[in-house]
Structure formats: structure tokens, C-alpha cells
Amino acid sequence: MIITYFVHSTTMDNEAGRATGWSDSDLSPKGRRQAEELRDFVKNRFDLVWCSDLGRAIETATIAFAPTPLETDWRLREIDYGKLTQEPSDIVKQDLTKYITEPFPEGESYSDVAVRMLDFLRELKRDHCGKSIALVAHQAPQLALDVILHKKSWIEAFRDDWRHTRSWRPGWDHDISLAG
């Protein structure tokens, strides 16, 4: 079963260089334009769209995928940065390898994100087999897909993250039959 993963559009926090985590940030004008431009690319391609329950993912999905049915799930949330939420991204993300198994202070670890993503993928595979599904979420869940489905280490997932080269594209396909 193939799913297509999309990252939410640019937010005000993205533009300000803040790590948003489980708090929320509105889409910026640039982000709203990105979601509107994505609409033509995704038009009528999906049976169902799942997104994080955070506003930036919901807003992106609502703009880009309407009228496709939209479901939200907390397991697609960004990592919880805990006490570091809203701090400058360059400080929070300076050495992500510290948080592979150790949680952010009063937050969660990347391994925690992988556990919730694997649970979500198993449920998706069980309940929606044969459907064309889009996911709209965040950086940590996307990297967790690389770890779960493509057998990358977290260090490889961090290193290969498209954000380093700004090589965004409109959707990444993943075969979730590889999820245990």
C-alpha cells in the first residue's frame, strides 16, 4: 500500500526561525500560497487525507486537498520539544542526535515519534488497504518514515533530510506494507 507524504506549508514560526513543536503557528502568506499551489498538483488524486491535529497541518490540508475527506490524528504531530518549544530552531536542532532515545526536556524523543508513527501506519494499513491516501504532517514524522520504512538509522535520516538542501517536492511516496 502506497501513501504520499506532504509537509505542512510554511508558518509564521518557520519564517521567524522558531521550533514550534506541539504549540501552533499560523501559516504565513507564503505558506497559504504554497498550499493553494499544491491544490492543482493533488486535485482528485486521493481517496482520503490524514493530517496532524495541529492547526498548521489542518490548514494546509484543508486548502490543498478540499473536497477530499480529511481526518486528523495526534500521532502525526511534530515532536514535542518540551521546554524548548518556541526557542530558536538553530539552537533546538543543533544536535538532534542527542534526542534519538533521550527526550527533549519535558518533551519526547525521536524514538517516541517512531513508536507512534508505526502504530499509526499499522492501523492505516489494516483499515484502509487499497485506498489512495495522503498524509500531511511535520519533520519528525517524515524522518520516522525513513527510519521505519526505509531502514535508515536516525543519524542517516537527519543527515539526508531534504531541508538541508531545500529540495522540497510535492509529496514523497512510501510503501507502508514495509511497516511491521
In degrees, to the nearest 5, what angle opens at C-alpha 98 toward C-alphas 96 and 103?
A: 95
59 to 89, 90, 112, 141, 149: CA distances (angstroms) = 22, 25, 25, 18, 27
Choosing among 3.50.50.60, 3.40.50.1240, 3.40.309.10, 3.10.20.30, the CATH entry for 2-178 is 3.40.50.1240
The candidate with the shortest Cα–Cα distance to 137, out of 9, 35, 2, 26, is 9
In this predicted structure, what is the pLDDT of residue 162? 79
- Residue 145 and residue 162 in contact, taking contact as beta carbons nearer than 8 Å: no
- For residue 168, the model assigns a pLDDT of 66
pLDDT in tens, the chain (180 residues): 889 999 999 999 999 999 999 999 999 999 999 999 999 888 878 999 999 999 999 999 999 998 999 999 999 999 999 999 999 999 999 999 999 999 999 999 999 999 999 999 999 999 998 899 999 999 999 999 999 999 999 999 999 987 777 766 778 888 887 676
* Local structure of residue 171 (DSSP, 8 states): -
- pLDDT, position 70: 95
37 tagged catalytic: no
Indicate whether this model's pTM tops 0.85: yes
Q: Where do the domains of the chain lie?
A: 2-178
104 with 83: CB under 8 angstroms? yes
Q: Confirm whether 8 is a catalytic residue.
A: yes
Which among 110, 100, 115, 46 has a CA at the least distance from the CA of 80? 110
Counting other chains too, the contacts that 92-96 makes at CB distance below 8 Å and 24 or more residues apart are 92/19, 93/19, 96/154, 96/158
User: Sign (positive/negative) of CA torsion 103, 173, 65, 31?
Assistant: positive
The angle subtended at Cα 56 by Cα 84 and Cα 118, nearest 5°, is 75
Q: Which of 59, 78, 108, 138 is catalytic?
A: 78
Question: What's the pLDDT score for residue 111?
Answer: 98
CB under 8 Å to 164, separation ≥6 — which residues? none
